[in-house]
Every structure is written in C-alpha cells, then in structure tokens.
Amino acid sequence: MLGTVFDIKEFALHDGEGIRTTVFMKGCPLRCAWCHNPEGLSKEPELYLKQNGCTACGLCKRGCAHEDCKPFGRCLHICPGDLVSVSGKVWSAGELAEKLLSDSGILNSSGGGITVSGGEPLMQHAFVTELLSLLRGKVHRTLETSGFASEEVFRSVAAECDFIIMDIKLADDDEHKKYTGQSNALIFKNASWLKSSKISHLFRTPLIPGITDTEENLTAISSIVGEDKLELLPYNTLAPAKYESVGRTFPSYINQTCAKLPDLKLFKNARIRK
C-alpha cells in the first residue's frame, strides 16, 4: 500500500506523550480558515516555493530534463538558495514503518512513540491502517485526527491506535460549515463513539480568536466531550507564512496577533497547551 506524506517531524514534543516522531499525511477534506498546514491540504504532491530569499533570478523556470521536475514545471535542483521543493513524498507502508522503527529505542525509553497526523490521516485510511498495524507492539501509536470520516473508517483505524487526539473545533454546525467547509455531524458521531470506547483519547480545540475561543463555543464543547478530556490549544501564529509557498491565500479576517488568551477560568479542568 502506498501513501503520500508531506513531513516527518522527529523529536516532536506536542503530538502526544513523550518524544515522538510525527508523520504528516497529505490531504484533508476540511478547509479550516486558520489551517496551520496549508501544504497538507491537497492530497497530491505539490510545488513548495519558499518566498523568503528568492532573487527572481528565473533559473528554476528554465526547462530542465530531470524526470522528477517535469510534473511541476520548475527545476527542483538548480535554485542557489534551495528554495524549490515538493511537498508530498510517496512511501510504501513497509518502508515507512522500517524508517520509523529505527528510532523506536529512543521513543520507547521517553514514553513516547509515533504519531500519525496530517492533513487528515483518515483520508488515506487504508495506508494508515497498514502502517499502524506494522508498528503494533513495537512502539506506542497515536492518531491525530479531525474525526471527519465515515463511522466505519474511523472505527477501523481507531482499532489500530493506542491513543487518539481528536479536534473538536466548533459546536455550532452552521459555524462549523462556515469556517471549515463541512458539517460537524460526523465528527460528533465519531467523538461520541470514541468517548464510549476503551481507547485512550483526548479532545482538542484550537483557540482561534473570536471564532472558536468564545465562552459559548468552549462551554458547548466541554459539556459534550467532558472538560477533563479537553485540551485547549493556543493558535499557531506562524501559519500564515506558509500559504504563499503553496499558492494559497491566508484569510485576512483571522486575527493573527493572539495578544491574549480568552478568560479560561471557566475551564479550569481542561488542559491548556503552553
């Protein structure tokens, strides 16, 4: 089984317990207005052009004969500043499992493991299921998901996980549609099943100023999932810088300053990511 991965982050400290290697699967069916991984949205490999440092010399736009450059209409190898690359590499599940397990000693001794994230990893559920099954019993396996998948897919991948971190962004369905492009009905169905399952889990809400961080939204979410299972995640202000690199535009109405967190005293049992 083949799958497309846009990043592998080693020594990750925020994607579950301990030291982890996080695999970012490419492709997501949601379009969260604040998405911090725009290079993970399309499921296909795509050109990634770092803007900072480009002198517009035009070298990368000249024709080249490299096979790997042809689909992208740019030379990937000639830029003096190494600014041109492709986001998205195809792996076989076996090759990727072998690579990930090469660090299993360090990961296991820290109480950490492997986290499969995205994008939305459930978009490539067959590959992710195979990968997780190859890691079973050798290293701790966490899935980070938006929960936006059919109940059948969600449950079958969950069966191969030791821990699941699931985003719950907006309790109101109209707001969810407005800011992510999809209804939250499936997400809440899957969240409800996860809550009643024996699988260890955590729900997580990104604090987007004026959108998800309102008292109304956080109260509604915590009453559904339980405050003790909820982690509140301050917004990643570095996200907008990546949009131009993949030819996307960050929505100007998202407050990027995040000068202060909302009053979280009401949610004293929730975890707050520092």
**Where in 11-50 is the site for ligand SF4 (CB under 6 A)?**
28, 30-32, 35, 37, 40, 49
Binding mask of the shown chain, residues 196 to 235, with x at each position contacting ligand SF4 by CB under 6 A: ----------------------------------------
Considering only residues 86 through 115, tell me which ones interact with ligand SF4, judged by CB under 6 A: none
Q: 């202000």: which residue's tokens?
A: 237
Told to check if 159 binds ligand SF4 by CB under 6 A, we report: no
Query: What's the CA gap between 69 and 63, in Å, rounded?
Result: 9
Q: What span, in angstroms and rounded, lies between the C-alpha atoms of 99 and 70?
A: 28
CB of 60 to ligand SF4, least distance (A): 3
Hey, which residues between 119 and 138 contact ligand SF4 (CB under 6 A)? 119-120
Binding mask 172-191 for ligand SF4 (x = CB under 6 A): --------------------
Q: Give CA–CA dist 274/267, Å, rounded.
A: 15
Nearer Cβ to ligand SF4, position 107 or 203?
203
| Residue 63 is a binding residue for ligand SF4 (CB under 6 A) | no
Confirm or reject binding of residue 118 to ligand SF4 (CB under 6 A).
yes
Q: What's the rounded Cα separation, in Å, for the pair 30 and 32?
A: 6
Distance CA 234, CA 138 (A): 32
Cβ within 8 Å of residue 230, ≥6 positions away: 168, 202, 203, 204, 205, 221, 222, 267, 269, 270, 271
Backbone angles phi, psi at 123, to 5 degrees: -65, -25
Provide the binding-site residues for ligand SF4, judged by CB under 6 A. 28, 30-32, 35, 37, 40, 49, 54-60, 78-79, 81, 83-84, 118-120, 146
